[in-house]
């Protein structure tokens, strides 16, 4: 499949150099997209800028109708989108379809939430004035999205931005442009006016620099690495450009001695091995109380051994390929470092390369201890390192000893302990007896170096709004 850019309601860019997109499960090329640069990005920004006045002038109900139609088209095309997603990203087909429905839920949620952008009247301290607060769309939004959730990370930005009255330019990851393009095809079918939604593929550096330097872009929303996020912060300074940043994570999973171990194992498997561990909120470190340590290891190992690695198009596959060589080598380095420093490999510990495709076995490491790379760095792969703890306080201390603060997980059946730990953990998302806490109606985002702002929930639309205070003299 060979696809094009979408600018001002037109599919364009056939004359540009092509970028190949490969299936990470086979190494085969599945199609091409244009390599856009500064010129094409400017055209897309200009189209969004020109469309903004009329789109923002629509009522929230009118914008909602477009989003509702888009949502319905996504649901009707879920199997088709999922197939495209798996082909270019590799995650199991069943997970891909789940992501599509999750992605659609953001469109549905914000189609309704856009009707609830409320201002307020403030009691005045003077009889001859009235004080009013209103909220208005920020303007043109540029969205930079990652490869690991190529549908959901677009709609989590697209839904609130369009509902608020903003127009958009989307730049998908180089590995997964086809999922984004499929969504734009459906948006076109839903009838969004020209210029409201635009898409460019190509040079990440050139496109991002234009986003950050172009004064017509009022807001940039980014999901990706902390390193790139910091660079975007630096680039935003010249214009004091608004940013939303969902960055890296290093999620701890804490299993206390009163935990339901069946529930803890299910939650740990769901969190750690979803998308082969290639998620920003997956469990990266597991801290288990010494009283249930051996029991948890045995049950966790048994569950991991049942996971099947393979091509995501195979319905029986649980864990697909690693996205690229760099990711594969990082995973392998983390495992080897831990073992060299005293950790024991209970399950897995190896990977293989076939025809340019990278696979790593789901791996369980026990007797992990501080100082190992895997406890400091985000692995982004199917490796579960487990460390023994002796108390709740020790668990919290280890869990918080990181510059990241995106997600954390706690397993305990004691309400008081759960509340204390949830409040003590410096993370934006806490899964308490829940390995899959994300939902469209809930805020998603982190503390510390894990980001700025929140996506989803009632908080998600606020990121695309300006607050204006009006003082009226009578």
User: Is the pLDDT reported for residue 374 higher than 90?
Assistant: yes
What is the predicted pLDDT for the residue at 138?
98
| pLDDT band (50, 70, 90) for residue 159 | very high
Structure tokens at 235: 């680039």
Q: Give the HSE-up count for residue 472: Cα atoms under 13 Å, Cβ half-sphere.
A: 10
- Hey, which residues does 32 pair with through a beta bridge? 2, 20
User: Is the pLDDT reported for residue 238 higher than 90?
Assistant: yes
- Identify the residue whose tokens are 């005045």: 124
d(CA 315, CA 414): 38
φ, ψ (nearest 5 deg) of residue 445: 165, 175
- Identify the residue whose tokens are 């306080």: 393
- Spatial CB neighbours of 61, under 8 Å, sequence gap ≥ 6: 115
What is the predicted pLDDT for the residue at 430?
98
User: Is the pLDDT reported for residue 219 higher than 90?
Assistant: yes
User: Is the pLDDT reported for residue 1 higher than 90?
Assistant: no
What is the predicted pLDDT for the residue at 18?
97
Task: Please state, in angstroms and as integers, the Cα–Cα distance from residue 120 to each residue in 7, 74, 130, 140, 474, following that order.
Answer: 37, 35, 11, 25, 18
Cβ atoms of 145 and 154 within 8 Å: the answer is: yes
Structure tokens at 31: 């199609």
- Spatial CB neighbours of 133, under 8 Å, sequence gap ≥ 6: 119, 120, 121, 122, 467, 468, 469, 470
d(CA 242, CA 218): 6
Q: Provide the greatest CA pair distance for the chain.
A: 78
What is the predicted pLDDT for the residue at 167?
98
Task: Please state, in angstroms and as integers, the Cα–Cα distance from residue 78 to each residue in 5, 88, 101, 394, following that order.
Answer: 22, 16, 7, 44
d(CA 115, CA 163): 8
Q: What percent of the chain has pLDDT over 90?
A: 99
What is the tens place of the pLDDT at every residue in 22-55? Answer: 999 999 999 999 999 999 999 999 999 999 999 9
280 in catalytic set: yes
Neighbours of 32 (CB within 10 A): 17
d(CA 345, CA 364): 6
Task: Please state, in angstroms and as integers, the Cα–Cα distance from residue 145 to each residue in 82, 215, 246, 247, following that order.
Answer: 17, 21, 10, 11
DSSP conformation class of 238: T
Mean pLDDT score of the chain, rounded to an integer?
Answer: 97
The edge-to-edge listing of strands for the beta sheet with 129-137 is 120-122, 129-137, 465-473
* Mean pLDDT to the nearest integer, 217-221: 98
d(CA 153, CA 100): 10
Q: What percent of the chain has pLDDT over 70?
A: 100
Question: Which of 99, 113, 166, 280 does the annotation list as catalytic?
Answer: 280
* Mean pLDDT to the nearest integer, 324-332: 97
- Spatial CB neighbours of 72, under 8 Å, sequence gap ≥ 6: none
What is the tens place of the pLDDT at every residue in 129-158? Answer: 999 999 999 999 999 999 999 999 999 999
d(CA 374, CA 272): 14
What is the predicted pLDDT for the residue at 58?
98
Question: Which of 95, 99, 113, 246 does the annotation list as catalytic?
Answer: 246
DSSP letters, 274-295, are: GGGG-STTSEEEEEEETTTHHH
- Compute the chain's Rg from CA coordinates: 23
99 in catalytic set: no
Set out the domains of the chain in order of their start, with CATH numbers. 5-247+450-473 (3.40.605.10), 251-439 (3.40.309.10)
Residue 29: exposure state from Cβ atoms within 10 A (0-12, 13-18, ≥19): exposed
H or E segment and range at residue 120: strand 120-122
What is the tens place of the pLDDT at every residue in 380-412? Answer: 999 999 999 999 999 999 999 999 999 999 999
* Mean pLDDT to the nearest integer, 282-301: 98
DSSP conformation class of 367: S
- Hey, which residues does 34 pair with through a beta bridge? 18
b/e per residue 388-414 (b: at least 16 CB within 10 A): bbeebebbbebbeebebbbbbbbbbee
């Amino acid at each position: 499949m060979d696809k094009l850019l979408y600018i001002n309601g037109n599919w364009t860019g056939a004359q540009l150099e092509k970028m190949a997109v490969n299936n990470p499960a086979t190494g085969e090329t599945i199609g091409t997209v244009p390599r856009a640069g500064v010129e094409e990005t400017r055209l897309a920004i200009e189209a969004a800028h020109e469309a903004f006045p009329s789109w923002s002038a629509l009522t929230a109900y009118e914008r909602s109708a477009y989003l509702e139609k888009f949502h319905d088209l996504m649901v009707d095309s879920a199997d088709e989108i999922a197939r495209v997603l798996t082909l270019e990203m590799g995650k199991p087909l069943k997970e891909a379809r789940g992501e599509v429905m999750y992605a659609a839920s953001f469109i549905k949620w914000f189609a309704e939430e856009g009707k609830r952008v409320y201002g307020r009247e403030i009691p005045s301290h003077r009889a001859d004035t009235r004080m009013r607060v209103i909220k208005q769309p920020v303007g043109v939004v540029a969205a930079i999205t990652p490869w690991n959730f190529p549908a959901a990370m677009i709609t989590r930005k697209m839904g609130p931005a369009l509902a608020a009255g903003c127009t958009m330019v989307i730049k998908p990851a180089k590995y997964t442009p086809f999922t984004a393009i499929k969504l734009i095809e459906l948006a076109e079918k839903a009838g969004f006016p020209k210029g409201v939604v635009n898409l460019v593929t190509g040079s990440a550096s050139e496109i991002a620099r234009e986003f950050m330097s172009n004064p017509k872009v009022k807001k940039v929303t980014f999901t990706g690495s902390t390193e790139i996020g910091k660079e975007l912060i630096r680039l935003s300074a010249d214009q004091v450009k608004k940013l939303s940043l969902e960055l890296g994570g290093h999620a701890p999973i804490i299993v206390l001695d009163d935990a339901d171990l069946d529930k803890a194992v299910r939650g740990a498997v769901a969190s750690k091995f979803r998308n082969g561990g290639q998620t920003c909120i997956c469990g990266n470190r597991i801290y288990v109380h010494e009283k249930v340590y051996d029991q948890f290891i045995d049950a966790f190992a048994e569950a991991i051994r049942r996971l099947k690695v393979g091509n995501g198009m195979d319905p029986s596959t649980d864990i697909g390929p690693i996205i690229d060589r760099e990711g594969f080598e990082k995973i392998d380095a983390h495992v080897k470092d831990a073992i060299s420093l005293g950790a024991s490999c209970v399950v897995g510990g190896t990977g293989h390369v076939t025809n340019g495709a990278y696979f790593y076995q789901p791996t369980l490491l026990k007797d992990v201890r501080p100082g190992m790379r895997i406890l400091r760095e985000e692995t982004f792969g199917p490796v579960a390192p487990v460390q023994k703890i002796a108390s709740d306080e020790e668990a919290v201390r280890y869990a918080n000893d990181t510059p990241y603060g995106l997600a954390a997980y706690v397993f305990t059946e004691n309400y008081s302990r759960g509340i204390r730990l949830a409040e003590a953990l410096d993370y934006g998302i806490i899964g308490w007896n829940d390995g899959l806490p994300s939902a469209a109606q809930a805020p998603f985002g982190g503390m510390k170096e894990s980001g700025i702002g929140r996506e989803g929930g009632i908080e998600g639309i606020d990121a695309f709004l300006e607050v204006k205070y009006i003082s009226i003299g009578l």
